C-alpha cells in the first residue's frame, strides 16, 4: 500500500493548481503551549491565510477522552470533523502551516492514517507562499461539506504496547525527534514533572535538523545523510506525536512512506513508571 513521489509541493505548484475544483487547502498551524505564543494559531489563520484554506485544529480533531494531548481520534470522529471542513473522497489536499511543519506534517500523517492518499505538504508553509508572491485572504472559507470514507491504516500508528515489544528488538528502528538535551537526559522536559531521557534502543535525530532556516524541508541528499538506511522499518517518536510526523514526512521524501508514528510518544511512555528510561 506504499505511496510514491515527493510528499511535498512547492508554492509555485500550488499557485498553478489552486483554482482546480478538487484542490483543498488546509492550515494546520500549531504552537506548543509552553512557547507562550502571542496569538493562537486560529487567530493567525483568521488574520491571513492562503485563499480557500480551512483551519485544521489538531487539539480539536483529537481523542478528547485521552489523558495525552491531541491523540488521534477514532475514524467516526475524524471523518465527521474533516467532512465539515470540506475534505473528502476525491480531494487533492495540500496542508501547510505557519510554524516550520508544526503541525502540517501531523495533519498529513493523520489524513494518511485515515486512508486518504492524495495529501501533500506545502514546502516552506505560508512563508514560502508569501515569498513567491501569493496573496492572503482574511475571509472565512465556506467549507462545503464533503463525504470522507475512512480506511484506517493501523500500520502507520504505534501504541505503548507495541513500543514495549520493540525495546531490545533490532528489526524496527526507533527515531526520537526531540532535541538532544531532552533525549540524553541533560535538559528537562517542557511538561512539568516529566523526566527526560529516551526509550531504550532509540536513536536521536532532532526534528529541527530536517528543516532549513527558512522553514523548508532539506533536500533528499541532505536528509539521507541525517537518516541513513531510509528504507529500514521505522517508528518515529517525540514528545507528543507532532515532531515525530516531521520525521515520517522526511522519510517519505526518501521513499519510505510506511513510517509509523508513536502517537502517545514520550508523554505516554513515561506515564507508567514500570517502562524503562535510558539516559546518556
Domain count, the chain: 2
What pLDDT score was predicted for residue 47?
A: 96
Same domain, 228 and 95: no
Give backbone dihedrals phi and psi of 7, rounded to 5 degrees, phi first.
-75, -10
**Same-domain pairing of 200 and 96:** no
pTM of the shown model? 0.97
Shared domain for 79 and 189, answered yes or no, is no
- Residue 141 is predicted with a pLDDT of 84
Q: Using CA atoms, how far apart are residues 273 and 31, in angstroms rounded to an integer?
A: 28
- Of the chain, the percentage scoring pLDDT greater than 90 comes to 95
State which residues form the domain around 146.
8-152
Same domain? For 205 and 118 the reply is no
Write down the mean pLDDT value for the chain.
Answer: 96
| DSSP 8-state symbol, 219 | P
Q: What is the pLDDT of residue 238?
A: 98
Stretch 139-157: mean pLDDT, rounded?
92
- Considering the domain boundaries, does residue 196 fall inside one? yes
Residue 201: pLDDT above 70? yes
Judgement on whether residues 142 and 182 belong to the same structural domain of the protein: no
pLDDT at 138 over 90: yes
* CA-closest candidate to residue 94, choices 155, 32, 18: 18
Q: Does residue 212 come out as left (phi exceeding 0), alpha (psi in the -120 to 50 range) or beta?
A: beta
E strands of 81-128, at which residues? 92-96, 119-122
For range 203-213, the mean pLDDT? 97
Q: What is the pLDDT of residue 1?
A: 37
On whether both 18 and 137 belong to a single domain, the answer is yes
Q: Domain check: are 173 and 128 in the same one?
A: no
Domain-ending residue, one of 152, 176, 194: 152
280 occurs within a structural domain = no
Evaluate whether residue 278 is within a structural domain.
no
Inter-residue contact 208 to 220 (CB < 8 Å): no
The answer to whether residues 100 and 210 belong to one domain is no
- At 120 the pLDDT is 98
State the pLDDT at residue 24: 96
3-class secondary-structure state, position 190 = coil
Are the beta carbons of 138 and 46 closer than 8 angstroms?
Answer: yes
Rounded CA separation 175/188 (Å): 19
Do 90 and 148 lie in a common domain? Answer: yes
Among 238, 250, 260, 270, which one carries the catalytic annotation? 238
Distance CA 117, CA 93 (A): 9
The pLDDT tens digits of the residues spanning 3-17 come to 879 999 999 999 999
Residues 235/163, Cβ–Cβ less than 8 Å: yes
* Residues whose CB falls within 8 Å of the CB of residue 214, separated by 6 or more in sequence, listed in order: 124, 127, 128
Please check whether residues 148 and 183 belong to one and the same domain: no
Q: Does residue 61 fall inside a structural domain?
A: yes
- pLDDT, position 170: 87
In this structure, is residue 279 part of a structural domain?
Answer: no
Residue 252 scores a pLDDT above 80: yes
- ∠ CA(237), CA(104), CA(211), 5° rounding? 70
Residue 259, in any domain of the structure? yes
Considering the domain architecture, whether residues 83 and 181 belong to the same structural domain is answered as no
- In a domain, residue 143? The reply is yes
Q: What is the CATH number of the domain that holds 15?
A: 3.40.250.10
Q: Looking at the domain assignment, is residue 172 inside a domain?
A: yes
- Better-predicted residue by pLDDT, 53 or 141: 53
199 a catalytic residue: no
Express each pLDDT in 150-192 by its tens digit: 999 999 999 999 999 999 888 999 999 999 999 999 999 999 9
Q: From 152, 179, 203, give the residue that closes a domain.
A: 152
Are residues 185 and 69 part of one domain? no
Out of 137, 152, 167, pick the residue that ends a domain: 152
Give exposure, 156-184, as e/b (b: 16+ Cβ within 10 Å).
bbbebeebeebeeeeebbbbbbbbeebbb
Cβ(198)–Cβ(259) under 8 Å? no
Amino acid at each position: 500500500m506504499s505511496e510514491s513521489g515527493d510528499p511535498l509541493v512547492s508554492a509555485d505548484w500550488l499557485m498553478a493548481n489552486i483554482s482546480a475544483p478538487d484542490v483543498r487547502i488546509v492550515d494546520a498551524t500549531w504552537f506548543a503551549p509552553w512557547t507562550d505564543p502571542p496569538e493562537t494559531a486560529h487567530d493567525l489563520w483568521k488574520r491571513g491565510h492562503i485563499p480557500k484554506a480551512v483551519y485544521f485544529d489538531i487539539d480539536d480533531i483529537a481523542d478528547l477522552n485521552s489523558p495525552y494531548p491531541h491523540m488521534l481520534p477514532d475514524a467516526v470522529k475524524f471523518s465527521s470533523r474533516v467532512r465539515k471542513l470540506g475534505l473528502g473522497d476525491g480531494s487533492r489536499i495540500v496542508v501547510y502551516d505557519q510554524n516550520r511543519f508544526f503541525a502540517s506534517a501531523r495533519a498529513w500523517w493523520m489524513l494518511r492514517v485515515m486512508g486518504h492518499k492524495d495529501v501533500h505538504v506545502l514546502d516552506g508553509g505560508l512563508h514560502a507562499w508569501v515569498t513567491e508572491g501569493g496573496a492572503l485572504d482574511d475571509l472565512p472559507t465556506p467549507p462545503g461539506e464533503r463525504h470522507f470514507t475512512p480506511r484506517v491504516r493501523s500500520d502507520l500508528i504505534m501504541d505503548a504496547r507495541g513500543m514495549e515489544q520493540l525495546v531490545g528488538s533490532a528489526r524496527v528502528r526507533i527515531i526520537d525527534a526531540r532535541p538532544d538535551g531532552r533525549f540524553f537526559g541533560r535538559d528537562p522536559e517542557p511538561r512539568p514533572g516529566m523526566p527526560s531521557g529516551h526509550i531504550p534502543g532509540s536513536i536521536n535525530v532532532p526534528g529541527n535538523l530536517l528543516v532549513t532556516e527558512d522553514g523548508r524541508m532539506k533536500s533528499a541528499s541532505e536528509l539521507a545523510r541525517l537518516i541513513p538506511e531510509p528504507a529500514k522499518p521505522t517508528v518515529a517518536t517525540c514528545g507528543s506525536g507532532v515532531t515525530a510526523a516531521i520525521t515520517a514526512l522526511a522519510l517519505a521524501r526518501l521513499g519510505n512512506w510506511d513510517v509509523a508514528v508513536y502517537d502517545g510518544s514520550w508523554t505516554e511512555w513515561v506515564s507508567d513508571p514500570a517502562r524503562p528510561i535510558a539516559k546518556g
